[in-house]
Amino acid sequence: MTPADEPERRLRLDKWLWHARFMKTRSLAAAAVGGGKVKVGGERVKSAHNIKVGDRLHLQIADESLEIDVLALPVRRGPAVEAQACYAETADSAARRAVHREQRRIANLGLSRPDTKPDKRERRALDKLRRGQV
């Protein structure tokens, strides 16, 4: 059987996200897909959706939005170097993330950090303040 005769290789979306090290566990990957945080070609899909080389994924991880192209379908969850060879982030996605990172950095410049950790009494006062019990 020649490579042209064999069927196109596919992999479940949740497995691919786990293999490519976007998620720590496969169940977290399935939950992200089910929650609409991952889209294939701009459309919501299920975690059992088969992806193939050339698909474009839109990921919303924490407060970051990524747009990546699938370059390879890994056989196993290997080291990070292998995982990074399986995808490529688009240029506009990388530019958007760089702008967002810079905005976060500038926003945090005005925040002052305390020199020491709060003690038990200060922690309790902070907890009361956060709960609105002051």
Select from 101, 13, 113 the least CA-distant residue to 62: 101
**pLDDT truncated to tens, each residue of the chain (134 aa)?**
344 444 678 899 999 999 999 999 999 999 999 999 999 999 999 999 999 999 999 999 988 999 999 999 999 999 999 999 999 999 999 999 999 999 999 998 888 888 899 999 999 999 999 998 76
CA dist 107 and 115 (Å) reads 20
| pLDDT score of 132 | 85
pTM, rounded to two decimals: 0.76
| DSSP H or E run through 61 | strand 56-61
The DSSP letter of residue 5 is T
**Cα 32 to Cα 17: distance, rounded to the nearest angstrom:** 10
- CB count within 10 Å of CB 107 equals 9
Closest to 26 (Cα-Cα) out of 77, 63, 74: 77
For the chain, how many residues are written? 134
CA distance 22 to 70: 13
Quick one: pLDDT at residue 7? 60
Q: By the 8 A CB rule, do 46 and 34 touch?
A: yes
| Domains of the chain by start residue, with CATH | 11-111 (3.10.290.10)
